[in-house]
Amino acid sequence: MKFTILTQYYPPETGAPQNRLSDLALQLKNAGHDVTILTAMPNYPQNEIHANYKGRYFISESLNGISILRSWIYVGKSRSVIPRLFNYFSFVISSFIWGIIKLKKQDVIICESPPLFLGISGWLLSVFKKSKLVFNISDLWLESAEKLGVITNKTLLKLAERLELFLYRKSFLITGQTQGIVKNIGDRTNLSNLHWLPNGISDDVVNLNLNKDDCRKKLNLADDSFIFSYTGVIGHAQGLEIIIHAAEKFVSKNVTIVFCGDGPELESLKALADKSGFNHFVFTGAVDKKLHFK
């Protein structure tokens, strides 16, 4: 079968969808399927196009024997609604154009959401390429955006909700990363084409021979220090400022707090940490799946 995975996020970026979808693509390829990735120029989580891709609009390349089609995306560091929407819709448009030009008839198009709007490109490509659309929901983005105050305009929220329901109804299959996501969609739509698609992990990651002493040596942490750690994206939604403020309770203790990861709020969090009265913060930056610090 011929599969296309449409996603805004893919290696060499780091992050949850990047890891999950690249592993899925490799597993499909190893099972004998023809797999193509249609994705954006890498820019996440720093919100900056990677050096080797700057100034490029459409390129084709290969990674682990898998064909990758990359198209232009607008990238900015502003948190306001208009630049964020421009970021999302720039890739919706460019991915549709590049997909129409480069993709042959596909059996299945797997579209990753968020962002929700990428479903527009996924649906249109599924129509033009005569493919079944699998809409994979890894986060209820619209609900999160409203609760976090990213989108407050009621009209925009209503339009986005209508788009969400339209895309669900146009999908051959809707998959959710958690049982909660699947239940939420099922309760709101009464659709039956729902499937829980849980995260997995590769054997090479499980079998890493690394213990806590190795980690202490890599990060130059004292043997007798008590370690608290956060691992993941350092962004607006994570609210990591609370950890900085909580650290004031441990000023006189032999405690180290490690932030393992990267993201758009990394520099702001570092600045907040510098202003606090706690001097035992460690920021590792991005770390790949084999625990190589970048």
Domain-located, residue 52: yes
Q: Please indicate, yes or no, whether residues 260 and 154 belong to a single structural domain of this protein.
A: no
Last residue of a domain, one of 196, 228, 251: 196
Q: What is the rounded CA–CA span in Å between residue 263 and residue 274?
A: 18
Asked whether residue 32 carries a pLDDT value surpassing 70, the answer given is: yes
Identify which of 61, 63, 50 has the alpha carbon closest to the alpha carbon of residue 23: 63
Identify which of 101, 287, 289 has the alpha carbon closest to the alpha carbon of residue 205: 289
Q: Please indicate, yes or no, whether residues 183 and 223 belong to a single structural domain of this protein.
A: no
Q: Please indicate, yes or no, whether residues 158 and 81 belong to a single structural domain of this protein.
A: yes
CATH code of the domain covering residue 277: 3.40.50.2000
Domain-located, residue 134: yes
Domain-located, residue 294: no
Q: What is the rounded CA–CA span in Å between residue 123 and residue 272?
A: 43
Contacts of 20 (CB under 8 A, 6+ apart): 138, 199, 200
Query: Which residue did the predictor score with more confidence, 152 or 286?
Result: 286
Instruction: Assign 3-class secondary structure to 1-55.
Output: CEEEEEECCCCCCCCHHHHHHHHHHHHHHHCCCEEEEEEECCCCCCCCCCHHHCC
pLDDT of residue 216: 81
Rounded to two decimals, the pTM is: 0.80
Domain-located, residue 260: yes
Q: Please indicate, yes or no, whether residues 75 and 116 belong to a single structural domain of this protein.
A: yes
Q: 17: cis peptide before it, omega within 30°?
A: no
Show the tokens assigned to 292.
């190589």
Asked whether residue 103 carries a pLDDT value surpassing 60, the answer given is: yes
Q: Please indicate, yes or no, whether residues 262 and 186 belong to a single structural domain of this protein.
A: no
Burial code (b: 16+ CB inside 10 Å, e: under 16) for 115-135 equals bbbbbbbbbbbbeebebebbb
Q: What is the rounded CA–CA span in Å between residue 84 and residue 73?
A: 11
Q: What is the rounded CA–CA span in Å between residue 6 and residue 125?
A: 10
Domain-located, residue 133: yes
Asked whether residue 208 carries a pLDDT value surpassing 80, the answer given is: no
| 230: containing domain | 208-285
Last residue of a domain, one of 139, 173, 196: 196
Q: Please indicate, yes or no, whether residues 142 and 257 belong to a single structural domain of this protein.
A: no
Confidence of residue 181 (pLDDT cuts 50, 70, 90): very high
Mean pLDDT lowest for which of 49-53, 68-72, 74-78? Answer: 74-78
Contacts of 58 (CB under 8 A, 6+ apart): 69, 70, 71, 72, 94, 98
Interval 239-248: pLDDT, tens = 899 999 888 7
pLDDT of residue 121: 97
Show the tokens assigned to 65.
């024997």
Q: Please indicate, yes or no, whether residues 181 and 225 belong to a single structural domain of this protein.
A: no
Tell me the average pLDDT across 40-61.
90
Output Rg (C-alpha) for the chain, integer angstroms: 21
Amino acid identity of 218?
Answer: K
Percent of the chain with pLDDT over 90: 50
How many domains are there within the chain?
Answer: 2
Domain-located, residue 28: yes
Q: Please indicate, yes or no, whether residues 222 and 135 belong to a single structural domain of this protein.
A: no
Choose from 62-71, 122-131, 177-186 the range with maximum mean pLDDT. Answer: 122-131
Choose from 108-122, 217-231, 265-279 the range with maximum mean pLDDT. Answer: 108-122
Tell me the average pLDDT across 22-27.
92
pLDDT of residue 2: 96
Asked whether residue 185 carries a pLDDT value surpassing 60, the answer given is: yes
Q: Hey, how many other C-beta atoms are within 10 angstroms of the C-beta on 236?
A: 15
Interval 7-20: pLDDT, tens = 999 999 888 888 88
Q: Please indicate, yes or no, whether residues 219 and 265 belong to a single structural domain of this protein.
A: yes
Last residue of a domain, one of 196, 222, 246: 196
Mean pLDDT lowest for which of 89-103, 139-153, 221-235? Answer: 139-153
Q: What is the rounded CA–CA span in Å between residue 202 and residue 210?
A: 16
Half-sphere exposure of 286 (CA within 13 A, CB side): 14
Domain-located, residue 291: no
Q: Hey, how many other C-beta atoms are within 10 angstroms of the C-beta on 110?
A: 26
